[in-house]
Amino acid sequence: MGAFSRMALELAEREPPHQAGNAPSAAAAASIKSVRTSIHQQIITYLMSKPNGATDQMMQDDIGIEPNTQRPRRRELQEGNIIKDSGRTAATRSGRKATLWVLV
C-alpha cells in the first residue's frame, strides 16, 4: 500500500464529526464515512495528475464534487499532512486569487 493510500485510510478511520447526543447527527456522520474515503482518494488521484497544483474550484469542476463536500475533505487531507498550500495562487472564474494545493 502506498504512502498516500495509507494516509487516506488513516483519515477514513477517524469518526466523522457530529453533534454529541444527537442521534440524527450521529447517523448522518456514520452514513458519510465511506463516501468521505472515496472523495479523499479522488482528490489525491487528481492532485497526482496536477504537479503544479489545483485550486478548490478546479478540483470541484474537474472531479465533479460540490464545494461544500470538497472543501471539508481537502481540509482533512491538509490536516493529515497529505496535501499542502503550494505558496502559489491561480485566478478563479471571478478573477480572484485562490490557493494552489499540492501533494506533500
User: Per-residue pLDDT for 1 more than 50?
Assistant: no
Quote the domain boundaries for residue 15.
3-103
Q: What pLDDT is stored for residue 59 in this prediction? A: 98
Number of other residues whose CB lies within 10 A of the CB of residue 69: 15
Q: How far is CA 23 from the centre of its chain?
A: 26
pLDDT in tens, 60-87: 999 999 999 999 999 989 998 999 999 9
- Helix 3-13 with 67-79: angle, nearest 10 deg: 110
Over the stretch 24-44, which tens digit does the pLDDT of each residue have? 876 766 655 555 678 889 999
Q: What is the CATH number of the domain that holds 71?
A: 1.10.10.10
Q: Is the pTM of this model over 0.75?
A: no
- What does the pLDDT read at residue 91? 97
Quick: pLDDT tens for 86-101. Answer: 999 999 999 999 999 9
CA distances 95 to 52, 61, 67, 102, Å, are 19, 16, 18, 21
Our count of domains for the chain comes to 1
CA count, 13 A, side-chain hemisphere, 42: 19
